[in-house]
C-alpha cells in the first residue's frame, strides 16, 4: 500500500468503511485512513491506525512511476495506455487540489490583514 490508495476495512470497529490511505507506517505495519478517527479522553480527534492485514485495496494510486512500470510489465499495450491515462488524471487532480489550497491560504492571509 502507498499513500493515495483506496482501501476497504474488512475487520474491526470500522469494518465496511472505505477511505484513502493517508499515511503508511512500514515498521509497525499500520495504515492511517482519511476519516477514520477516534476521540481521546481530552476531546482531541486523532487518526486511528489500522493493521494492513485488515484492509482490502480497492483502487491503486497510479501516480507513482515505479508502480506503473511494475504493473505494466505484464500488460498489453491497451491496458498500459489506460493506466497512463488514469495516472495523468490523478496528477491533474492533485495539482487542482494544491492550487485550491494555495488560493484558500491567500484568502485567509488577506482577510486577517
CA distance 64 to 70: 10
Model pTM score:
0.67
Number of domains in the chain: 2
CA distance 107 to 112: 9
Nearest CA among 16, 22, 19, 15 for reference residue 6: 19
| CA distances in angstroms from 3 to 26, 33, 39, listed in the order given | 12, 9, 23
**Same domain for 99 and 79:** yes
Q: What range does the domain containing 9 cover?
A: 1-61
**Same domain for 68 and 38:** no
Reading the chain (113 residues) residue by residue, the pLDDT tens digits are 888 899 999 999 999 999 999 999 999 999 999 999 999 999 999 999 999 999 999 988 877 788 878 877 777 888 778 878 887 887 787 788 788 878 777 776 666 55
Last residue of some domain: 24, 46, 61? 61
**Same domain for 93 and 52:** no
Amino acid at each position: 500500500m502507498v499513500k493515495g490508495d483506496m482501501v476497504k476495512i474488512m475487520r474491526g470497529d470500522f469494518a465496511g468503511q472505505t477511505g484513502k490511505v493517508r499515511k503508511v507506517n512500514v515498521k509497525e505495519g499500520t495504515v492511517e485512513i482519511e476519516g477514520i478517527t477516534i476521540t481521546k479522553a481530552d476531546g482531541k480527534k486523532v487518526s486511528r491506525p489500522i493493521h494492513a492485514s485488515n484492509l482490502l485495496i480497492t483502487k491503486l494510486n497510479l501516480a507513482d512511476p515505479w508502480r506503473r512500470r511494475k504493473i505494466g510489465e505484464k500488460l498489453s499495450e491497451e491496458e498500459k495506455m489506460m493506466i497512463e491515462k488514469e495516472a495523468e488524471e490523478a496528477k491533474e487532480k492533485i495539482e487542482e487540489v494544491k492550487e485550491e489550497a494555495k488560493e484558500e491560504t491567500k484568502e485567509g492571509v488577506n482577510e486577517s490583514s
